[in-house]
Structure 1
Amino acid sequence: MRLTFRKHAPLPVEPGTAGPVRVDPRTKALTKRLRPGDIAVIDHLDIDRVSAEALVACQPAAVLNAARSTSGRYPNLGPEILVAAGIPLVDDLGPDVMSLVEGRVVRVIEGAVHDGDTVLAEGVEQTTATIAANLEAAREGLSEQLESFAANTMDYLRRERDLLLDGIGVPDISTVIDGRHVLIVVRGYHYKDDLATLRPYIIEYRPVLIGVDGGADAILEAGWTPQLIVGDMDSVSDKALRCGAEIVVHAYRDGRAPGLERVAKLGVDHVVFPATGTSEDVAMLLADDKGAELIVAVGTHATLVEFLDKGRSGMASTFLTRLRVGSKLVDAKGVSRLYRARISNYQLIGLVAAGLLALVVALASTASGQTMFGLFGARFDDLFSWVGSLFGGA
């Protein structure tokens, strides 16, 4: 009996990308529960670099944005990072897309969001070409943002002059900083790579480790324990808050502190630092006021685009804070390039000893080496006998 095999036509492949939606207007909060294959639904005007890198790390099937990923205010890098990673990005879907039910399975086809045959929302799918055009248009409007940034900077200087110039309002803390190096970790650009590069520096200098919100978790993940945690406590884990670090809650100037209730519920000791700027500014001002010899910054904001990436006028405070502590402040990337771990005397002695031992073993394995060691042994016996005869005669 002859068996015959029939070739079946391949099953049709459905177009687009499908997956369950995960919805949150705050990208930072969404990435905590986003899983590979999910479809991220956000409402993020001008997706910044840090948010894009966090989304890429979660490996979503697609990103749906209710807002415009590049508004034209400044050349933000987030959309380019997402598309370069092969993640479909659909823009300007409108606020209604935020009402999608969590976990609902949808299909994204050429900028449209489908539920079966029903089109739920339509937007603009970003490509390399559209992103390049958006960035070019954004660069033309950058001068307007510079003027706005300068105005915000002067406004902040007027409101926080006493804090910036005289340190008035900085709370007392128990952590000893005077005369020591301080390492401030913010979950910003390449913070993991920079923290790994600084490992020899941390081992040798033992700086005071300050985590700014989620930066405390980054320190724990790297195998260290922070001495101070500074921030509004919106992205730091309970594990970090309970690790034994001193807690400094960043509050608004009017006394409101959104993170105070959470810290109080955990029952951990804390102090409150009212200030207008960002939490990383508060950490730098605190370290400087308490006498830090050197402040090393990981993941903090240094360039104009990084300032604008935060999308709020408060970044003017970061600019002025860097001017305030500039003589002590070093970016982590600079340290990693300039710093080289020094070899201690003990390490040098160990290295020489290991080399001599290897030489002895190599010589002992040869006939000439064995002869040489035999002659050395005979000479040593003669010397020992001579010394013994001197003391014996005496």
Structure 2
Amino acid sequence: MRSSLRKRSALPEPGVVAGSARVDPRTKALTKRLKPGDIAVIDHEDLDRVSAEALVACQPIAVLNAARSTSGRYPNLGPEILVGAGVPLIDDLGADVMAIAEGHRLRIVDGSVYDGDDLVAEGVEQTAATVALAMEEARAGLSVQLESFAANTMDYLRRERDLLLDGVGVPDITTEIDGRQVLIVVRGYHYKEDLVTLRPYIREYRPVLIGVDGGADAILDAGWKPDLIVGDMDSVSDRALGCGAEVVVHAYRDGRAPGLERVAALGVPHVVFPATGTSEDVAMLLADDKGAELIVAVGTHATLVEFLDKGRSGMASTFLTRLRVGSKLVDAKGVSRLYRHRISNLQLTLLVLAGLLALGVALAATSAGQTLFGLTGARFDDFTSWVGSLFGGNA
């Protein structure tokens, strides 16, 4: 149920959650200023996994969603991640909650949101049980989304046939890619862990590093500098844009480029790439057209669940793009989970010490070993005597 402002004289204390409000209809923008203990106020229908993981990383005390975190169109993964992390998620609060002033102290009681003593809105607090039920219902209607995905795929093929087949419209760039390997980084699932795992590969092969929007910051945070930054510039930092990388602004087919004004204001040299689809598609097509020997992708979307979890019809383009560059594409997403050490460093150290001890005992049981230990002891005595004479001589 949704409600306009109403007065309540007293609030029950048990189960109260309180914190400062951080309000933004764009979850990606909100996470840049969200601090531990804040209350995140968003308007995000079908909360996806990447957005939920970004919210959890900020450690909010609660998340208030004006929309439904799961609409039932498809089984999105975000609500399960938030609830599993112990972050209270209040759903379907309505437009009133987005009118809360930034920084106001809020209290949440049983799904009701209070600004002072004013009841701002009432929603549904999600639990593991309600999320599981919503996911089950969403899976039942998944066939409709699959049909829509297929239709969007064919529509993209018709509109971008020349780009996909012949590379028509790919801009000229100065970064030398021909004959080199390329690493494309998207700030998606497990990208941090995968970059750590790929360190030996990057050191040895020195691939061209392409950051897709916030992926450029991920490259910088890992200790490298991107050669290219590709995207609509909505989630990349000014630090990354000013690091000296070549910038390719992703524009719509009608010429609109939301990130162009920002890049121009920073005085960063750039080229524009008009194309339908996502920025990660643009990065892959650019690398392929410029003669990349191999394309290694980190954090990109590879499975049907991931395509649908983004909740955008444009993700159909990624499916076709992967078919286009598939002969040279290596998907490194999740490579960090392929192998994990089963022995900890402490266990390994103890094992080495135990081995050395066993070797010492074995040597001590032989005449040769006893002689060796005797000579070693004598050498050590000589050394200590020499050190003592140095200090004694200076006294």
The TM-score by the shorter chain falls in which range?
A: 0.7 to 0.9
CA–CA distance in 2 between the matches of 1:80 and 1:338? 24
**After the TM superposition, which residues 121-132 of structure 1 pair with which residues of structure 2 at under 5 Å, given as runs?**
121-132=121-132
SS in 2 for 1:325: helix
Measured against aligned partners, the alpha-carbon deviations of 1:221-243 in whole angstroms (never above 9, x if no partner) come to 00010000000111111111111
More divergent stretch after superposition (263-272 vs 123-132)? 263-272
1:45 aligns with 2:45: yes
Deviation string, structure 1 residues 162-192 (Cα, Å, up to 9, x no partner): 0000000001111111111100000111111
Query: Aligned partners of 1:116 and 1:34: how far apart in 2?
Result: 21
Q: Residues 149, 287 of structure 1: CA spacing in aligned structure 2 closer, same or farther, 3 A cutoff?
A: same
AA matched with 1:91: D
8 A contact 2:194–2:298 mirrored in 1:
yes
Task: Find the counterpart in structure 2 of residue 157 from structure 1.
Answer: 157
Hey, what's the Cα distance between the residues in 2 that align with 1:93 and 1:337?
38
Residues in 1 aligned to 2:214 and 2:372: alpha-carbon distance in whole angstroms: 64
Q: Residue 285 of structure 2 aligns with which residue?
A: 285
Conserved? CA contact 2:23–2:42, under 8 Å = yes
State how far apart, in whole Å, the 1-side matches of 2:312 and 2:14 are: 42
Deviations 1:101-147 (A, max 9, x none): 11111111111112344321000000011001000000000000000
In structure 2, do the counterparts of structure 1 residues 337 and 312 end up closer, same or farther at CA, with 3 Å as the change threshold? closer
Partner secondary structure for residue 330 of structure 1: strand
Take 2:293 and 2:134, find their aligned partners in 1: how far apart are those partners? Answer: 44
CA positional deviation for 1:306: 0.9
Give, in angstroms, the shift of residue 312 of structure 1.
1.5
The residue type paired with residue 23 of structure 2 is V
- TM-fit CA distance, 1:335: 5.6
Match of 1:313 in 2: 313
What is residue 107 of structure 1 aligned with on the other side? 107
Q: Residue in 2 aligned with 1:34? A: 34
Residue type of the alignment partner of 1:186 = V
- Alpha-carbon distance in 2 for matches of 1:205, 1:336: 19
The answer as to 2:175 corresponding to 1:175 is yes
How is 1:1-394 mapped onto 2 (pairs within 5 angstroms)? 14-333=14-333, 367-368=371-372
Once residues 337 and 113 of structure 1 are traced to their aligned partners in structure 2, the CA distance between those partners, rounded to angstroms, is 40
Per-residue displacement from partner, 1:13-36 (whole Å, max 9, x unpaired)? Answer: 553200111100000000000011
Residues 59-117 of structure 1: CA distance to partner in whole angstroms, max 9, x if unpaired?
A: 10100000000000111111011011111000000011100011111111111112344
Q: Which amino acid aligns with 2:97?
A: V
- Structure-2 separation of matches of 1:115 and 1:334: 42
1:83 maps to a residue whose letter is V
1:164/1:367 CA distance change after superposition, 3 Å: same
Larger Rg: 1
For the structure 1 residues 367 and 282, does the alpha-carbon distance in structure 2 shift closer, same or farther, using more than 3 Å as the test?
same
Give the TM-score, by structure 1 length: 0.82
Q: How many residues align?
A: 341
Q: Could you say what secondary structure the match of 1:169 adopts?
A: coil
Deviation at 1:367, TM superposition (A): 3.7
Distance 1:337 1:206 in 2: 23
In structure 1, the residue matched to 2:356 is none
Indicate the SS of the match to 2:82: helix
Residue identity opposite 2:313 in structure 1: S
**Residue 172 of structure 2 aligns to which amino acid in structure 1?**
D
Assess if the C-alpha contact under 8 Å between 1:19 and 1:39 holds in 2. yes
Q: 1:366 to 1:173 in 2, by over 3 A?
A: farther
Q: 1:209 to 1:365 in 2, by over 3 A?
A: farther
Contact 2:72/2:134 (<8 A) preserved = yes
Quick one: distance in 2 between partners of 1:140 and 1:334? 28
CA contact (8 A) 2:183 2:210 kept: yes
TM-score using structure 2 length: 0.82
For the residues of structure 2 that align with 1:265 and 1:366, how far apart are their CA atoms?
78
Match of 2:380 in 1: none
Q: 1:232 to 1:365 in 2, by over 3 A?
A: farther
Partner residue of 2:390?
none
The aligned residue for residue 353 of structure 1 is none
Can you give the 5+ residue segments of structure 1 that lack an aligned partner in the other structure?
1-11, 340-361, 372-394
Structure 2 residue identity aligned to 1:79: P
Secondary structure of the residue that 2:326 maps to in structure 1?
coil
Distance in 2 of aligned mates of 1:190 and 1:76: 17
Residues 335 and 205 of structure 1: is their aligned pair in 2 closer, same or farther, counting only changes over 3 Å?
Answer: farther
Letter in 2 for 1:104: H
SS in structure 2 opposite 1:37? coil
Do the aligned partners of 1:74 and 1:305 also contact (CA within 8 Å) in 2? no
Shift of 1:331: 1.0
SS in 2 for 1:64: strand
